Structure 1
Amino acid sequence: MSPAEHKLSAPTAVPGDFRPQADALVAQMSIEEQALLLSGDGWWQTHGIARLGLAPMVVSDGPHGLRKVVGAGLDGSVPATCFPTAPGLAATWNTELAREVGAALGREAQASGVHIVLGPGINMKRSPLGGRNFEYFSEDPVLAGRMAAAYIQGVQGQGVGTSLKHFAVNNQEFERMSTSSDVDERTLHEIYLQAFEIAIADAGPAAKPWSVMSAYNLVNGVQASEHRELLTTILRERWGYDGFVVSDWGGIRDRVAGVIAGNNLEMPGSGAHNRQKIIDAVRDGGLDPAVLQRVCAELVAVMLMAHAQHRPGSTFDVDAHHALSRRVGAEGIVLLKNEDRLLPLAAGTRVAVIGDFAKAPRYQGAGSSQVNPTRVAYPHDELVALLGPDQVRHARGCDEEGVTTDALLAEALAVAGEADVVLVFAGLPDSYESEGFDRRHIDLPPGQDRLIEALAAAHPKVVVVLLNGSAVAMPWVDSVGAIVEGWLGGQAGGGALADVLTGRVNPSGKLSETFPVSLQQTPAWPSFPGRDGTAWYGEGLFIGYRHYDKRSLQPLFPFGHGLSYTRFDYTAIHAEAGRFDVDGGGELVIEATLENTGELAGQEVVQLYVRERAPHVVRPERELRAFAKVSLDAGASTTVRFALGRRDFAHYDIGLHDWAVTPGTFDIQIGGSSRELPLVATVEIVSSRARRQPLTRRSMVQDFLGRPGGQAAYEEMLRALGLGGLVDPVDEAALARLSPEQLAAKRKGDRGALAFGNEMPLYKIPAMSGGVCSDARIDELLRAFAD
C-alpha cells in the first residue's frame, strides 16, 4: 500500500455545511416527496428525488467488515476484509489502531459505492450473556467511547459516514423489539449514554458520526425510535448533534411519533404504509409541516455531503487490509495466564494442535455483521508455516459444536503424548452466541471442557486458546499452564494467533470486560434477560468491574488484565498540583513512570482510575478515566502524561439533571489492570462554581451544610427542634462527671438525635418545633438560600 493510501485525513465537510442547500431543496418538495424521503427504498438505500437532482444514498452493515448485500434482504454480500470483532479491537486499547481499521473500512466502502457504514456498536456489556456482545466494545463507557470515536474518525476520514448504534440501552436480544429497558436517570447517563456522548459531544464537528441508529427496545416505557428526550433533548440540544437518526431495521412502531421525536429515516422501507401516515398527519394537523421539513433537511444535508465526498472508481489493497487485520488481531490477543513461561513456543518444540477450531476456526459473529471474507487464515496452517510441518500434529478432539467422543478423546491423548506442548483450540460455536438470542450460560460446550481436563491430567504443558465473543467460564483454569484469549479474530486471526504463540508478536492485549468465575457472580444475575416486557436495571451503576470492586468479589480475570512476555514496572507518579479547581478552566496533569524490566520489547496499556475517598453519593470504588498504550524496548523507561478535567471527577446529579462535582479528596490510581494499581496520587478537588440542588420544603436540615452561611441556618433548625445541645459549646466539666457507661450512652443518644435532626424535611419543622420555627421562617430561609 502506498503512503497516500495509509494517510488518515479528516472529512472535508460536516452536515451543517450542506444545511442551507438542504433547506432550499426541501422547500421545493411536496409533502408527498418529503414523506417519501423518510423511508428507505428497500433494504439498503434511501429514496432520492430525481427531479431535484437528489440521488439516493447507499448504506451497509459493517461494524468489523463491510457487508454490502447484493440485491435485497440479508444474504449474498460482496467480498470484504473481515477484521476482528469489537471485543478484539477493544482489547488492543489502541485508539490509533482503531482509527486505522476505520480508515480501511472507509476505503472498502468507497470501492463498493457505500455512503454510510452501519457501525460501530457501542452498547455496554451489562451481562456476558448478551447475544450481541461480540459487536460491542466493553463494559466501560470511557474505553468504548474512545475506541468508537477513533473508529468513526477513521471511516469518515475517507469520506464515508458511520452510524453509531444502538441508541440506547440495548443490552439483550431476548424479545428485543418489545422489552423496555427500565433504568434510573443517573445510571442512564453515567453508564449507558456516556460512551455515545464521548463519540458525539466530545468529538470535533468533523468527527461526529453522520448518523445515529435508534435501538429496537423501549427505554423507560417509550420506544427508542420515538423517544423525544433521547433523540432531541439529549442528542441534539444537549450534545449538539446535527446528523440524522435512522431506525434499526424494523424498529419503528409509530412513524409519526418517531418523526416528531426526531427519528429521520425508517429502515428498511415500508412502502406507502408509513409514508401515508405521515402525509395524513400533516393534513389533519397531527404533524407540524415545519417539523417534517426540519427532519427532512437533516437527512438531506447528509445525503448531499455523502455524494460530495464519494470517490467513484476507488479501490483498496486486499493484501494490505488482510495484513492489517492480522496486526490488529495479534495486538488484541490477551495472554490470560502463562505459568513457568510456557509461552512463547521455543524453536524446535513439538506441538500437538487439538480441536476442530484449529482447522475450522470461528472468526466472526453471526447475524447482521457477518462478512464474506476475502480469504481466511487457519491457526493450524499458520503454525505449520512458522514451526515447520514436522513439528505440528493435529487431532480433532471435538467436532465444530464442541461434542467429543471416547474415540476423539483417545486420538487427542495419543497425539498429545508425543508432543512437548499441547495447544487446545476451544471456544463458542455459532449456535452459542449470535444476534437474535442471548446466551443461556457462560460455559464452553461440555465436550470441550472434558477434552481440556483430560489433556491437562495427562500432559504437564497444556495451552488453551479461546475463540469467543464474550467471557466464558473456565473450570479447568488451575489445571492448565497457559490461557490465550483470541476472541473472534477476523479472517487473519489464525495468523495473529500463530504470531503470538510463537513469539513473533509479544502479546499486549488487555481485557475490555471482566471474566467472572461463574454466571452467578455476574452483576445482572439472575434477572438477565428481562422478561415479561421489562428489563429492570436493578444493579444500577454497578456493572462490570464496578460490581466486582464494590462487592469485593474476585473475578476469574479482572477488567484490564493481560500479560506480556516481558515485564513492566510502575515506578513513580506525580501530580502537578495537590489541589485542583475543576471550574478553573485548566487541567490536572498526572505523570506516571513506566519501565520495561524484562528482556523483550513490548507494549503496555497504562490505565488511570479515579476514586473518591469519602463520596457523598454512592459511587463505584474506582472508574477508568484515561489510558495510553506505550511501546518500550527492553530496559527502557518512559513517562506517560495524562490531563484530567472536570468530568473526570464528576457524577450525574439527578436533582440538577446534570453533571456535578462534590469537593473532596480523590485518589488517582495507575497501573496495568483494574486490580493492579501500584501508583497512587492524592489530590484535593474543589469547585469554585459548584452548582447545588435547589433547596425546597422537601429538603433536609443537613442540606444547609456546605452552603455559604448555611451553618447558622443549620444550627437554627436544630435548636428549634430542641437539639441545641448537639451544636452548642460542650460543657467539658459536665462530661467529666459522667461514668464511662454514661458517656457511651450519651454519645449513642447524640448520634441518634443528630440523625433525627439532620434528616428532618423542612416542611415538618414547624409542627415538630411546636411553631418555634414557623412556615413563614422556612419560606424566608428558602428565599435567602435560593441559588
Structure 2
Amino acid sequence: MTTDLAALVKSLGLAAKVRLLTGASAFTLAEEPSIGLHEMRFSDGPTGVRGLKFTGGRVVTLLPNATLLASTWDEQTAYEVGKLLAEEAAAQQIHVVLGPTINLHRSPLGGRLFEAYSEDPLLTGRLAAAYVRGMQDSGVAACLKHLVANESETERNSMNSVVDERTLHELYLLPFEIAVEDAGAWTMMAAYNDVNGVAATEQNYVNNEVVKGGWGYTGLIMSDWFATKSAAPAANGGLDLVMPGPDGPWGDALVAAVEAGEVDEAVIDDHVTRLLRLAERVGALGEARRWPAEIPEPDSPVRREQLTRLAARGITVLKNDHDLLPLDRSTTVTLIGRHAVETIDMGGGSAALNPPYQVSVAEGLTALLGDRVTVIDGVNVRTRPVPARGGFLTAPSNGRPGIDVILFDAAGNELERRFCAQAKTMIGMDDDLPAPVASARLVADVHTDGPAELGVMGVGDWTVSDGTSLSHGSSPTDGSSPSHGTSPSHGGSPSHGGSLSDGSTFSLRTSGGGMGEEVLTPPYRTFALSPTPSSSPSPASHRLDATVTIEGMGLFGLIGNVASRESVDVIDDAVRAAAGADVAVVVVGLTEEQETESADKDTLRLPGAQDALVEAVAGASRRTVVVVNAATPVLMPWLDRVDAVLWAGLPGQEGGHAVAAALLGDVEPAGRLVTTFPAADGASPAWSVTPVDGQLPYGEGTFVGYRGHIAGQAPEPAFWLGHGLGYGEWQYSDVRLITGDAPAITVTVTNVGRHPSREVVQVYLRPVEHDEPVRLVGWTAIDVEPGKSARVSVRTDRRMWRRWNAESHSWGDRLADGGEFLVARGLGDIRATVS
C-alpha cells in the first residue's frame, strides 16, 4: 500500500519540516517519530561503502576504480558492482550510497576523473544506469553526482563553468538523463561550482526546469557537502536537502524566509515529500526495514574472486608486439618499480576508505610464478611525504600498521581513543562525542633499519617528541623534506637545521583542511631518522608522539616512509637485474597526489624518473612489458621501445592478483579505453582546468575527447577511445544496416587468434552536418572461441540522434539521415563504414 506522503507532510509544522531538510550529522538524516520516519544513513562511494566515518572507520571492501570497471564496456558488470555495493551498504545499515560519479572526462588533467566513467556521455549514462539498477534492486539508493559541469577540481568551490545550452544538454546533462530514464535513480547531488553564473545548489533552470520539470524526476536533490551557500535561493532553486548537518544555511534562516514570503511553503512541502519518498523507497518510513544477516566479509573468498575478476577484465592491452602476452608460466621475470611493491589501488579524497588489505603486483605475480620472479624496487614516485602504508608505523595499542589517536576536550579530559589504519584521521566533522575536540595526540611506533622520513600532517601548531633517539634527526624549518638517503649517522650531528629535541615545537601553516583535503603543501614537517647501528641485532623502534591543538575541521596524521635512494642507483640495479631474465615487467604510474579530490594535475607526465627507468630497462632487457598503474591518461615517450603495455587503472584490494592474472592470461584483460590518451601535454580538445578570474569556459563545445580529435581540433592521439587489443585477433565481415527509428548494424566477427577472447563491436555515427561531431551510438560485446565466428547486432541509441535546439530550448531537431556509421574496434581501428 502506498503511503499518503501529502498527509504526513501536512501533519508537520513549518519548523519540523525545515529541520528534516538539513542533515542531523555528517552522514545521517534526522528521524521524526510522529510520522514514522527513521534515521537515514548515507555513505561515500563509489569504489566502496566507507560508512559514517570519513577516516578511521570500519574495514570495508575496496573495489576497482570507476574507469577500470567502465573499461569492460559491460552493463552487466556495472549491475554486479551495484549489487555488490548494496550488500556492502546493508552490512552497515546504510540507506544511500553517494555514487556513481557521472561527470565526463573533459580534460585529462581532471584530478577526480578516476571516480568517473568516461569522456563519452552515452557510455557513461548506460553504465551508470546499470549500476543504479543493481543497487536499487536491493533497496539501497544510488546518488548521481555531481550536477552539473563539475569536470575539474581547481577552485571547485567558487569557479563558474561557462557552458552553452546545447553542450550542456547533449553532453553533460545526458548521463544524468539516461540514468533517470533507464534506471530511475532515487537521488542526485548538486555540485560545488556555479554553472553559467548561478550556483549548482541554486540552479532553477537545471534543477527545476530540466530535471524535475522536463524529466519528471520524482527523486531528491541533495547538496554536496558544505556546498550550499544560501537559504531562499537554494530552496527556490530546487535543492531538497542540505548536507552535512546539524549546522548549515537553512534551519532558522529558511523558516524566516518562508515567514517573510521569500519562499512559498509549498516549496518546502515538495522538498519534504521528496525526502519522505526516498525514506519509503529505502525502508526508513513506517515499519523499519530488515537488513540481511549473511553478507560476505571484505576479505572473504567470495569477495576475493569477484574483485580479482572485475579488475582483471577491465585491464586494457594497449600494445602487444609478437603476442608476448600472455606470458608463459615457464618465463623468468624481473619485476621492477615502486608501483610493483606499493601498488596504488585507490584514489585520494572522499573515495578513499579502509580496506582489509591491498595486494601489490609483486605479491600477486610471486604467488603465481614463485622464485621465477625477481622483485626490484623502483625510483621514487612522490613529491611529498604521505601517511605511511604497511608496517613502517604501528599503533602502540595493538601493534598493527597504523597509528593511535587520543582526543581531548578543552579541559584536557579524554574523549575517545581510536586506531587509524591509514595513519590519519578526520577530526571535527563526523565525531559523535560528548564535547568538541580541542586537542589530539597522534602516536606510533616507528620500525626501521635504515634512513627514514618521519613527520606530521595537518593543520595547526604541533609539539613533537619521541621516547628514544629521534633527536638525532633533523627538523627543516622551511617545510621541505630532508635529502633522501643522507640522514646523519646514529649519534652524529644533524645534517640540516637544528636537532629535534624532546618537546620541540614548530608551526604549520595551511589554507585549511576539510572534506577530501589531501594536498600537503605546506601543512607538514619532516625530519630524517638515523639508521640503526650495524651492531644492533634488530631494526630500531622509535616512538613518534605528536600533539595538535584542534581549531575547526581537518585531516591529521603521521608520516613515515623509508628514505628513497638516488634514482641513478635504483636504475642501475634495475638494468642489471633485467638483463638476466626472459622478460622485464616494469610497473609505473600515478599516486593519490595526482588522482585525488580537491586538486587537478598540471601534466600527464609520469612523476619522478619513471620514464628514465623504463627507457633504461627496455635497453637492457630481452623483452619488456610496462604495466601502467593509473586511472587516467599518461604520456608514454618510451612506447616504441617496449614490447607490451597494460593499462591497469586503480585495481582495488585484489589489484596485484588481478594484474598477475591478466599478465598470465588466467583472466583475459579485455578492457577498452574509456578516455582518449593524448600524445603530448596540451594535445587534447579541452586542456586547461584553471579558471581565469573565476571563469572556466567550455569553449570546445560538444567536441570533447575523441570528438575533437577526429574533427581535427587536436592532434592524433596516442590511443583512441575504445582501443584495447585483448588476447584475440579479429576479422569483420558481412556488415549490414537495418534501418528504423534507431537503426542497427549487424556484423560477423571471427576470432582468428589463439586464445578465447571478448570482442567489443563499437558503432559511431559521423553526421553529414559539418557542425555535428562524430559520436558513439552503440556497442555490443561477445565472447568467441578461437577459430569461431558470431553474428553481432548493435542497435543505436535513439537519444544520440537528437539535437538540442537552443532557440526553442528543446530536443526540437533530429539529425539528418545522411552520414555514415563507423564500425570499429576503437576509433583507431575502423573496420567498416556504412552509409
Q: TM-score range by the shorter chain?
A: 0.7 to 0.9
Please give the secondary structure, in 1, of the residue aligned with 2:152. coil
Moved more, 563-572 or 91-100: 563-572
Which of the pair is proportionally richer in strand? 2
Q: CA deviation at 1:273?
A: 4.9
Q: Is the 8 A contact 2:231 2:257 kept in 1?
A: no
* Cross-structure match for 2:481: none
Given the alignment of the two structures, is residue 511 of structure 1 paired with residue 673 of structure 2, yes or no?
yes
Secondary structure at 1:528 match in 2: coil
Identical residues among aligned pairs (%): 36
Secondary structure of 1:274's counterpart equals: coil
Tell me how far 1:524 sits from its aligned partner.
2.0
**Which residue among 335, 359, 364 is the counterpart of 1:353?**
335
The answer as to 2:801 corresponding to 1:661 is no
Q: Which of residues 781, 788, 792 in structure 2 aligns to 1:636?
A: 788
**Whole-Å Cα distance in 2 between the matches of residues 662 and 545 of structure 1?**
20
1:239 pairs with one of 202, 210, 215? 215
Which residue number corresponds to residue 706 of structure 2?
545
Question: C-alpha offsets along residues 635-661 of structure 1, whole Å, 9 cap, x if unaligned?
Answer: 111111133364332222222322211
Q: Match of 1:673? A: 826
Name the structure 2 match of 1:314. 293
Measured in 2, the distance between the counterparts of 1:498 and 1:171 equals 33
Query: Is 1:601 aligned to 2:749, yes or no?
Result: no
- Structure 1 position 394 matched with structure 2 position 375: yes
* Partner Cα separation in structure 2 for residue 433 and residue 590 of structure 1: 38
Match of 1:534 among 676, 695, 717: 695
Tell me, in whole angstroms, the C-alpha distance in 1 between the residues paired with 2:374 and 2:171. Answer: 47
2:262 is the alignment partner of 1:286: yes
- Alignment partner, residue 89 of structure 1: 69
Corresponding residue of 1:444? 606
Equivalent position of 1:114 in the other structure? 94
| Native 8 Å contact 1:110 1:310 kept in 2 | no
8 Å contact 1:84–1:364 — kept in the other structure? yes
1:169 aligned onto 2:169? no
- Kindly state the Cα deviation for residue 356 of structure 1 after the two structures are TM-superposed: 1.7
Residue 280 of structure 1: how far off its partner (Å): 0.2
Whole-Å separation in 2 of the counterparts to 1:432 and 1:186 = 31
| Counterparts of 1:453 and 1:540, CA distance in 2 | 38
Query: Pick from 418, 429, 439: which aligns with 2:591?
Result: 429
What does 1:473-512 align with in structure 2 at a 5 Å threshold?
473-512=635-674
Runs of 4+ in 1 over 4 A off after TM superposition: none
Report the structure number with the largest CA radius of gyration: 1
Q: When the two structures are superposed, what TM-score results if normalisation uses the length of structure 1?
A: 0.80
Distance 1:51 1:646 in 2: 47
Q: Specify the alignment match of 2:622 in structure 1.
A: 460
Using a 3 Å threshold, how does the CA distance of structure 1 residues 661 and 257 change in structure 2: closer, same or farther? same
TM-score, reference length from structure 2: 0.76
Partner SS, residue 305 of structure 2: helix
Of 40, 58, 70 in structure 2, the residue corresponding to residue 57 of structure 1 is 40
Aligned pairs for 1:16-27 (under 5 A) are: 20-27=3-10
**Is residue 202 of structure 2 the alignment partner of residue 226 of structure 1?**
yes
Structure-1 residue corresponding to 2:571: 409
Task: Tell me how far apart the structure 1 counterparts of residues 193 and 701 of structure 2 sit (CA, whole Å).
Answer: 18
User: Are residues 285 and 630 of structure 1, via their aligned partners in 2, closer, same or farther at CA, if it must alter by over 3 Å?
Assistant: same
Task: Render the CA deviation track for 1:422-449: whole Å, top value 9, x for unaligned.
Answer: 0011100222221001011111013111
- Seen in structure 2, the aligned counterparts of structure 1 residues 137 and 220 have a Cα distance that, compared at 3 Å, is same
Question: Offset at 1:412?
Answer: 1.1
Q: Partners in 2 of 1:374 and 1:335 — Cα distance?
A: 29
Q: Is the 8 A contact 2:240 2:271 kept in 1?
A: yes
CA distance in 2 between counterparts of 1:670 and 1:81 reads 38
Distance (Å, rounded) in 2 between the aligned partners of 1:67 and 1:645? 35
Q: Report how far residue 302 of structure 1 moved.
A: 0.8
1:609 partner SS = strand
Cα deviation 1:684-708 (Å, max 9, x = unaligned)? xxxxxxxxxxxxxxxxxxxxxxxxx
1:153 is matched with: 133
- Higher relative contact order, chain-length normalized (CA < 8 Å, sep 6+): 2
Deviations 1:296-321, CA, capped at 9 Å, x for gaps? 11111111221268433533223212
- In the alignment, the residues of structure 1 paired with residue 744 and residue 676 of structure 2 have an alpha-carbon distance, to the nearest angstrom, of 29
* Corresponding residue number in structure 2 for 1:698: none
- Displacement after TM superposition at 1:401 (Å): 2.3
Q: Write 1 or 2 for the structure with the bigger share of helix.
A: 1
Residue 148 of structure 1 aligns with an amino acid whose one-letter code is: A
1:377 aligned residue: 359
Equivalent residue letter for 1:248 = D
CA shift, 1:573, in A, is 1.2
Q: Secondary structure at the match of 2:28?
A: coil
- The answer as to whether partners of 2:779 and 2:795 remain within 8 angstroms in 1 is no
- In the alignment, the residues of structure 1 paired with residue 353 and residue 702 of structure 2 have an alpha-carbon distance, to the nearest angstrom, of 34
TM-align CA RMSD: 1.6
After superposition, give the CA deviation of every residue in 1:669-698 in whole Å (9 maximum; x if it has no partner). Answer: 21210222212222xxxxxxxxxxxxxxxx
Deviation digits for residues 568-593 of structure 1 (CA, Å, limit 9, x no counterpart)? 1111211233xx4x4xxxx4332121
Give the equivalent residue in structure 2 for 1:689: none
Amino acid corresponding to residue 297 of structure 1 in structure 2 = T
Where does residue 335 of structure 1 map in the other structure? 317
Match of 2:347 among 365, 369, 375: 365
Is the 2:709–2:717 contact (alpha carbons within 8 Å) kept by the matching residues of 1? Answer: yes
Residue deviations 1:585-643 (CA, integer Å, cap 9, x gap): xx433212111111211101111111113x1x6111x2101111111111111111133
Which consecutive residues of structure 2, in runs of 5 or more, have no partner in the other structure? Answer: 384-563
Whether contact under 8 Å (1:363, 1:493) holds in the other structure is yes
Please give the per-residue CA displacement for 1:146-198, whole angstroms capped at 9, x wherever unaligned.
11111111111111001100000001111101101001111111111111111
Instruction: Say if 1:671 and 1:518 are closer, same or farther in 2 by CA, change over 3 A.
Output: same
Q: C-alpha separation between the residues in 1 aligned to 2:609 and 2:593?
A: 15
Show the counterpart of 1:624. Answer: 776
Match of 1:42 among 21, 25, 30: 25
2: CA distance between counterparts of 1:189 and 1:314?
A: 43
